[in-house]
Amino acid sequence: MNGIHDMGGMHGFGPIKREENEPVFHHAWEGRVYAMHMVTPVPIPGGLRYAIERMDPAHYLASSYYEKWLYVQTQGLIEAGVLTQAELNDRVAQFRSNPNATLPQRTHPELVQRVLAEAFAPESHRKAMDIRPAFDIGEAVRARNMHPMGHTRATLRER
């Protein structure tokens, strides 16, 4: 792929600036976006990375790390029918016109404990598959020079 999302080695963006003792989240809303992503049961079609790579290039470049996550999460909710674009636009307009408004709060200690237990439960990412790998260890492979939109993996096999 050769979109704006594949910036590795691109010139003109300057050095990566590392912040000494950088916090996990720079703003409280970033932690909330992370939590939304971790516990919202609505799947993101193709996964987080694929969805981020489908963002408009100008929007991608103008967005911070967690703004990209928020965009993907809200688009996933819209695509799943949980939320409409109009509902999202209305809520955004409400908070833009009243930035000091109190955020909705929900107190449900049992739900919090259940979500935390699920989020931190050990989980194996190994999957039992009834298929044989396409290539053997050490076998030579050739990848095509492809330029599709979004993230991809070369899966075609030529012998």
* Residue 127, in any domain of the structure: no
Tokens 């439960």, located at residue: 121
Query: In which element (H, E) is residue 96 found?
Result: helix 85-97
* Residue 3, in any domain of the structure: yes
Q: Which range has the worst mean pLDDT, 31-35, 82-86, 149-153?
A: 149-153
User: In terms of residue numbers, what domain contains 74?
Assistant: 1-9+25-100+141-159
Tally Cβ neighbours within 10 Å of residue 31: 14
- Residue of 101, 104, 33, 27 lying closest to 69 (CA atoms): 33
* Amino acid at position 123, single letter: E
pTM of the model: 0.66
* CB distance 83 to 77 below 8 Å: yes
Count of domains observed in the chain: 1
What's the CATH code of the domain at 86?
1.10.472.20
* Residue 135, in any domain of the structure: no
* Residue 133, in any domain of the structure: no
Phi/psi at 77 (5° precision):
-65, -40
Give the model's confidence band at 159: pLDDT under 50 very low, under 70 low, under 90 confident, else very high: very low
- Please tell me the number of Cα atoms within 13 Å of 87 on its side-chain side: 8
Q: Which range has the worst mean pLDDT, 87-96, 112-121, 130-139?
A: 112-121
* Residue 67, in any domain of the structure: yes
What is the distance between the terminal CA atoms of the chain, rounded to a whole angstrom?
23
- Residue of 152, 136, 5 lying closest to 65 (CA atoms): 5
Tens-digit pLDDT profile for residues 34-72:
988 888 877 777 788 888 888 888 999 899 999 999 999
* CB distance 150 to 53 below 8 Å: yes
Average pLDDT estimate for 101-115: 84
* Residue 120, in any domain of the structure: no
* Residue 34, in any domain of the structure: yes
* Residue 134, in any domain of the structure: no
Task: For residue 61, give both structure tokens.
Answer: 């470049």
pLDDT value, residue 93? 96
Q: Is the pLDDT of residue 2 over 60?
A: no
